[in-house]
Amino acid sequence: MKEITGDHLRAMRLAANKKQSEMAEKVKINIKTYENYENSVSPNIKLNHFLTWMRFCKLDSNVDIMEMLEDCKTRVEASGRVRVRSK
């Protein structure tokens, strides 16, 4: 079973050119909780947080979510802006 990782969440944010503080505010969580999600300290993101994350990043929820997340990760790595960690 595949899972959504902090790397996927970071890639979504970076692909949308958003700051961590913007995402935390939009998802309505404090910055520390946000950082914990991206750093996989809090590995189980709440569904309502994830759906807000997707909407704010303007991602289509009608596609395969894991495929979309891997695409975000690939685009961010290819841009050279940041290297996304892999498991």
CA atoms within 13 A on the CB side of 74: 6
Per the model's pLDDT, the better-predicted residue between 60 and 74 turns out to be 74
pLDDT tens readout for residues 38-47: 998 876 788 8
Dihedral of the CA atoms 34, 7, 40, 45 (nearest 10)? 60
pLDDT tens readout for residues 6-41: 888 898 889 889 999 999 999 899 999 999 989 988
What local confidence, expressed as pLDDT, does residue 25 receive? 93
Predicted structure pTM score: 0.65
Span 6-77: which CATH code?
1.10.260
pLDDT-derived band at 68 (thresholds 50, 70, 90) equals confident
**What are the residue boundaries of the structural domains of the chain, listed by start?**
6-77
